[in-house]
Amino acid sequence: MLLGLVGLFVVARVVVTVRGVRTNVRGKPNTFAREYIDPFIYAGIAAFLLITFVARTYYIPSGSMEPTLQIGDVLLVNKFEYRFRKPAEGDIAVFTPPMLSPDDFIKRVIGRPGDTLQIRNGTVILNGKPLREPYVAQPPFYNLDIRDYNIFVQERGGEFQPLDPSIANIPPRKEWTAPDRIPPNCYFMMGDNRNDSEDSHVWGFAQLSGTYASGPREGQAAHFTGHAFLIFWPLSHARIL
């Protein structure tokens, strides 16, 4: 759509120039083109390059990241950043999910490759230390362990159950460096609205690259689109993340 608009302005620019040449009146048409048409062409080309190679917009469709992100917020996502560094703990990242979906997901990076992770009584324990998470809507109602080459979840009143690799991305044992550490290339993602978020406690690990090891997208490409860094709409919510 953006290229189409740029193309229309280019055609208009050519028409104005040609008409000026045919009628031997070059000054006014060229001045009009320079002042009113050329800026739109340049801005359109710059926006296309920006969206294609550097940043993209992302619309928040659900409440899984509340209170940090509200339904209807529009974000800018840096597509360039993860080419030079890996996702960091606390990043709000956009990625291809391990479950079947036509859209990318957006969640917070909690655990990275090599980390140990537990959830006990509403507290996330990362590498043996409780995380301070002022951004969550409320503590999770479930407990969780990464151990024995899987993710084990204990819902209220139940017992710990491992995620099923047929519906979650759980790499095979040979890809783990230890039975209780997040495997290489894998990330544990959580929504800030912990009790209204389908995230890694449901569908397993997100992956930075390669193909998903198991689950509905087994064998399909895994990818992190980028790092969300700015809410720019609505203006009342605008801020750097």
Q: Which residues are catalytic?
A: 64, 107
**pLDDT, tens only, 193-212:** 999 999 999 999 999 999 99
Express each pLDDT in 8-28 by its tens digit: 434 444 444 545 444 444 555
**pTM for this model (two decimals):** 0.80
Q: What is the dihedral of CA 199, 204, 210, 216, to 10 degrees?
A: -90
Q: What is the pLDDT of residues 45-89, one digit of tens each?
A: 544 445 555 578 899 999 999 999 999 999 999 998 999 999 999
Query: Which residues have C-beta within 8 Å of that of residue 181, sequence separation ≥ 6?
Result: 113, 114, 115, 116, 146
Same domain membership, residue 228 and residue 115? yes
* Residue 144, beta-bridge partner list: 119, 153
Average pLDDT over residues 115-143: 96
**Residue 190: which domain range?**
60-240
Question: Do 165 and 109 fall within a single domain?
Answer: yes
Task: State how far the Cα of 152 lies from the Cα of 97, in Å rounded to an integer.
Answer: 19
Q: Is the pLDDT of residue 181 over 90?
A: yes
In angstroms, rounded to a whole number, what is the distance separating the alpha carbons of residues 137 and 235?
22
- If asked whether residues 49 and 76 sit together in one domain, one would say no
Does pLDDT of 131 surpass 80?
yes
Which residue type occupies 241?
Answer: L
User: Per-residue pLDDT for 240 more than 80?
Assistant: yes
For residue 101, the domain's CATH number is 2.10.109.10
How confident is the model at residue 3, as a pLDDT?
39
pLDDT band at 157 (very low <50, low <70, confident <90, very high): confident
* pLDDT attached to residue 21: 44
| Residue from 90, 89, 118, 92 nearest 106 by CA | 92
- Calculate the alpha carbon distances from 119 to 68, 106, 125, 144, 156 in Å: 21, 21, 6, 5, 13
Question: Do 147 and 221 share a domain, yes or no?
Answer: yes
pLDDT at residue 228, as a whole number = 96
pLDDT, tens digit, 9 for 90 and up, residues 133-154: 999 999 999 999 999 999 999 9
Residues 189 and 227 in one domain: yes
Are 18 and 65 part of one and the same domain? no
Looking at the structure, do residues 223 and 159 belong to the same domain, yes or no? yes
Structure tokens at 197: 């978020």
Angle in degrees, 0-180, between the axes of helices 2-22 and 38-49, rounded to the nearest 10 = 150
Domains in the chain: how many in total?
2
Q: Are residues 75 and 142 in the same domain?
A: yes
Say if residue 151 is in the same domain as residue 214: yes
